[in-house]
């Protein structure tokens, strides 16, 4: 509160018959009042400046790219464990808004205003509306879907609600939607640099000699898939993977390497020849090798296992639970 001025602090002295004396009496009183008002203004500005950054800094804790770490939904069975939304997404904090990318809607750079205003995206079959807010240390938004005439089907998604709460352990994400399939899902996400890498298993590339060779198989879709691994040599094994559909068209390829590093082995994958992703060897036996990278969105684990019948099984998935994807190969004659 501003200091109260005494009744005689600022006034003309009508008791004095001298105008000069009156003016002289007014000057120090006016100066005192101006100093007090200026002090109040500085104090108010300082108070506002000290409160504004606090909220801004807390909101900025949700900024950046986030990687799925673990499912924290209570009572969920092992096979249903997994991320409640994309395994990698980003939130970009701007003045008065948060911009979404990778949130599974197919929309990029969706700007969510924090004042409750609706962001509407119109498409041929759907109108999507986003509304969000920053409240009690949590950024949250809801997505409502309106189908155009004739496109509404039974079980169509009506809305999704997501909340993001920064904690010392990472970002806690909660997701619910209508129609529901089992209540709210909860998961922990972190920035990649905050996710610890696993302890490497000690090995040399010669320990994976059983993986060398040409391996071919058929996927459930009927597409053919193959991996051709070179013998261990010079601390490396090299491979190329190729998938061809039933029409004889190449649909995917991948460059693969296993290299020795710091007493262990690193699996390096380049799908489509793009940026390489590394996985560390964490488990090794005479017929099984497991490589992991918890900082990657998907897969986080790659495993190879040789059966007693001489068939090779490759499995990719999360570190825990979910439904891993497996591919079986036979050695090419």
How many Å apart are CA 235 and CA 268, to the nearest integer? 14
Which of the residue ranges 8-17, 80-89, 281-290, 309-318 would you say has the lowest mean pLDDT? 8-17
Residue 20 banded pLDDT, cuts 50, 70, 90: very low
Average pLDDT score over residue span 257-266? 98
pTM: 0.81
> For residue range 265-296, what is the model confidence (pLDDT) as tens digits?
999 999 999 999 999 999 999 999 999 999 99
Domains, the chain, in order of start with CATH, read 64-194 (2.40.128.20), 205-331 (2.40.128.20)
> 10 Å Cβ neighbour count for 89?
22
- 63: its two tokens: 């900024």
pLDDT, residue 148, reads: 78
Q: DSSP states of 135-159 as a string?
A: ETTEEEEEEEEEEPTT---TT---E
Q: Which residues of 91-123 are buried (b: 16+ CB within 10 A; e: fewer)?
A: bebeeebbebebbbbebeebebbbeeeebeeee
Main-chain dihedrals φ then ψ at residue 104, nearest 5 degrees: 85, 5
Tell me the average pLDDT of the chain: 86
> For residue range 133-167, what is the model confidence (pLDDT) as tens digits?
999 999 999 999 998 766 666 567 899 999 999 99
Residue 182 banded pLDDT, cuts 50, 70, 90: confident
Residue 15 banded pLDDT, cuts 50, 70, 90: very low
């Amino acid at each position: 509160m501003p200091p109260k001025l005494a009744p005689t602090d600022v006034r003309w002295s009508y008791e004095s018959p001298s105008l000069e004396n009156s003016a002289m009496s007014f000057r120090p009183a006016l100066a005192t009042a101006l100093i007090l008002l200026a002090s109040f203004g500085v104090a108010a500005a300082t108070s506002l400046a000290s409160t504004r950054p606090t909220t801004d800094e807390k909101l900025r804790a949700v900024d950046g790219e986030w990687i799925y770490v673990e499912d924290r939904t209570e009572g969920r069975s092992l096979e249903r464990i997994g991320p409640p939304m994309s395994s990698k997404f980003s939130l970009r904090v701007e003045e008065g808004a948060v911009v979404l990318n990778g949130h599974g809607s197919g929309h990029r750079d969706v700007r969510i205003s924090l004042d409750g205003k609706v962001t509407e995206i119109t498409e041929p079959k759907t109108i999507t509306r986003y509304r969000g807010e920053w409240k009690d240390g949590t950024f949250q938004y809801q997505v409502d879907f309106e189908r155009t005439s004739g496109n509404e089907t039974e079980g169509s998604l009506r809305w999704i609600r997501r909340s993001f709460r920064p904690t010392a352990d990472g970002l806690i994400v909660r997701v619910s939607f209508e129609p529901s399939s089992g209540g709210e899902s909860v998961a922990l996400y972190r920035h990649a640099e905050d996710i610890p890498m696993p302890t490497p298993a000690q090995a040399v590339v010669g320990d994976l000699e059983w993986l060398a060779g040409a391996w071919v198989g058929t996927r459930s879709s009927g597409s053919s898939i193959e991996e051709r691994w070179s013998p261990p040599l010079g601390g490396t094994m090299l491979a190329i993977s190729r998938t061809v559909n039933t029409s004889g068209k190449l649909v995917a390829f991948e460059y693969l390497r296993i290299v020795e590093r710091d007493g262990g082995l690193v699996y390096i994958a380049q799908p489509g020849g793009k940026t390489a992703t590394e996985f560390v060897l964490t488990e090794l036996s005479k017929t099984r090798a497991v490589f992991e990278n918890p900082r990657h969105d998907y897969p986080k684990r790659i495993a190879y296992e040789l059966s007693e019948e001489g068939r090779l099984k490759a499995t990719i998935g999360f570190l825990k639970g979910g439904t891993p994807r497996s591919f079986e190969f036979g050695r090419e004659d």
